[in-house]
Structure 1
Amino acid sequence: MTAGLRELTGLRGHYAGSVSRFLGYAIDLGVISGLFGLALAVVSFVASLITGHTVSWNGSGIPVAIAYGCWWFVYFAYSWAASGKTFGMAVLGVQVVSREGATAGPRRAIVRTLVFPLSFLLLGLGFVGILVDRERRALHDVIAGTTVVYTWDARAQRLRFLARDDLAQVPAPVPAQQGPPERERTVTQHQAAPAPDSASNRPASRDGRG
C-alpha cells in the first residue's frame, strides 16, 4: 500500500467545504431549470391541443417567475425535509443536518429554504461563513440551526475495494493427491499376491507313493 493510500482519511461527518456545496447547488440549478422548462413545454403542448392556438411563455414574465420560484422552493424544501439532501448534494456526497448531527426535519428545511436567498441578496456575504466558520455554516445555516456534512467515508470505501481485490487474487485451493479407486487397489493387490505351490496342493495318492 502506497503512502497516498495510507494517508487517505474518512470524511463521514466532517463539515463540507465550499467547493462541494457550490458544485452541488450548480447541479441542482440545472435540474430545476431543466425540469421547469420541460413542464412549460408540456403545458404549452396540451394548451395548444385544447385551444387550437400556439401557446408560448415569456421567460421574463411575472407568472413564469412566480411559478419558477414556487418550484424552486418545493424542490429544496421537500428534498431537505425528506432526506436532508438534494440531487446535487447526493452526487457530491453532502447532507444537511442539525448542529447535533440529527436529521434536519421539516421545520428546519422550510426555514432554511426561506432564508436561503438572503445569503445571495447580501451580495454573497451570507456565504462567507463557509470559508471562515469552524462549522462551515452560511447565514441560512445559522438562522435555520443546520450545517452541512459529508455522508461518505473515503477510508471505508477504499478498504472495501482492497478487500474485494484481495479476494480476487487468492488462488483456488489445489485438491489433495488421491490414490487409485478402491477397485483398482483390489486388483493390484490380487496381482501382487504370490501364486500357490502346485506341488503342495496336489492330493496324495492312495498307495502312499508321492
Structure 2
Amino acid sequence: MSRGVTGADPTRAVSMQGHYAGAATRLAAFALDQTIATSLFALGSAIVAWAIALVTSDAFKWDPDALFTGSLLLLWLFVYYSYPWSVSGKTPGMALLGIRVVRADGSPASGRNAVLRTLALPLSFLTLGIGFLPIIFGKERRALHDKIAGTAVVYSWDARSARWRFLARQQEADPVAV
C-alpha cells in the first residue's frame, strides 16, 4: 500500500473511529455547542416573555435580575451537556463533528460519568485553562474534567463506512457504471 506525503498509512486516515479526538475538533464542537445552547436559551426566554405578555397584558414588563437569569442559564447548560452525554455520548455540536464521550476504557459513558463531567467542566476553565493542556500534550488527550469523570473523547465516525454507503447509493442510481 502506498504512503502519502506525510508517510501516514492512508487506510488509517480513512477511519479514525475510536481514536482520541484532537484539540481543534473538541474546541470547534464546544464553540458550536455554546452557540446552539445560548441561542436556544435566548429563544426560550423570548417565547416565555411573549407568552407572559400575551396572557397578562402588553403593559406587563418582566425584568428578572441577573442572578435569576444566570442561574437559569447555568441550569440549562447543565441539562444541555449532561443529558446528551448520558444518552448518546454526544451533544449536537459533537455529533456534527463526529466525536463522542466514552468511558476511559472505551465503553459507553453512563449517566454518572456525564453528570461528573458536566460538573467538573468549569474546573478546566477555573484553572486558567491549565485543565485543558492534557488535550494538547497528553497521550490520551483527556482534560482535567475527563480525568475526574473517568471519560475520554474519541472520534465516532468512520469515513470508510461512509464511502462504502456512498458507492452503494451510486451503483443503485446508475447500475451500468460498475
User: What TM-score does the superposition give when structure 2 sets the normalisation length?
Assistant: 0.85
1:42 aligned onto 2:47: yes
Unmatched 5+ stretches in structure 2: none
Listed one character per residue, the Cα deviations across residues 149-191 of structure 1 (whole Å, up to 9, x for unaligned) are: 011112232244345546666539xxxxxxxxxxxxxxxxxxx
CA distance in structure 2 between the partners assigned to 1:23 and 1:48 by the alignment? 37
CA distance in structure 2 between the partners assigned to 1:116 and 1:67 by the alignment? 18
1:96 aligned onto 2:101: yes
Alignment check: 8 A CA contact 1:14 1:149 kept: yes
Determine which of 121, 129, 154 is the counterpart of 2:126.
121
CA distance in structure 1 between the partners assigned to 2:38 and 2:91 by the alignment? 14
RMSD, aligned α-carbons: 2.3
Partner of 1:20: 25
Indicate the structure (1 or 2) with the bigger Cα radius of gyration. Answer: 1
Instruction: Write out aligned runs for 1:97-112 (5 A).
Output: 97-112=102-117
CA distance in structure 2 between the partners assigned to 1:3 and 1:158 by the alignment? 20
Higher mean Cα deviation, 90-99 or 162-171?
Answer: 162-171
Partner of 1:69: 74
CA distance in structure 2 between the partners assigned to 1:120 and 1:61 by the alignment? 22
Distance change (3 Å), C-alpha of 1:39 and 1:171 = closer
Higher mean Cα deviation, 64-73 or 25-34?
Answer: 25-34
Partner of 1:10: 15
Unmatched 5+ stretches in structure 1: 173-210
**More relative contact order, 1 or 2 (CA 8 Å, 6+ apart):** 2
SS in 2 for 1:25: helix
State percent identity of aligned pairs.
45
User: What TM-score does the superposition give when structure 1 sets the normalisation length?
Assistant: 0.73
Partner of 1:32: 37
